Amino acid sequence: MKRVSKRYIKGIAKSTLHLILEISKSSYPNEFSGLLKEKDGVVNEVILIPGTYSSTKGALMDFYNIPIGIRTVGTVHSHPSIIYTPSSVDLALFRKKGSVHIITCYPYDNKSWQSYNSNGEKITIPVIDIEFEYRDDEEW
């Protein structure tokens, strides 16, 4: 199996981004964290890691709980603040785990997120209006 960490990401499905923001909002004031999967270069799935410890001091992913063979392209987590700048812990994680990393922040609306590459530099990933398995008809 080839590693997909360097695969070019064309965008993120709007429904997936919406789901990420909804989970962020419902986790608040705790953080949530997960892993991103893609299909055809589009981020379309969030995997919540079993055993993730979540508190107001941060969400720690337990990578030992990731099913073997799962192919992910990056990480996602929320910040219980209005700042989506990665912390030093976040930057260390970004370098280890994939090529696209999303941080959401309060109030978790459609502007409350930023994506980063593995060096922690801001990148722009287009939001693509495409439906995968998750549906939500709410307008935003």
Binding site for Zn ion (CB under 5 A): 87, 90
For Zn ion, the closer of residues 55 and 87 by Cβ is: 87
Catalytic-residue membership of 31: yes
One-letter identity of residue 91: L
Angle at 90 between CA 87 and CA 92, to 5 degrees: 115
Q: Residue 41 half-sphere exposure, CB side, CA atoms within 13 Å?
A: 8
Among the listed residues 22, 31, 38, 139, the single catalytic one is 31
Q: How far is the CB of 133 from Zn ion (least distance, A)?
A: 27
Q: How far is the CB of 105 from Zn ion (least distance, A)?
A: 9
For Zn ion, the closer of residues 38 and 90 by Cβ is: 90
Helix ranges (DSSP H) in the chain: 14-27, 88-96
For Zn ion, the closer of residues 15 and 80 by Cβ is: 80
Q: How far is the CB of 69 from Zn ion (least distance, A)?
A: 27
In order of 91, 118, 119, 136, the CA distances from 122 in angstroms are 12, 10, 9, 28
Q: Could you list the active site residues?
A: 31
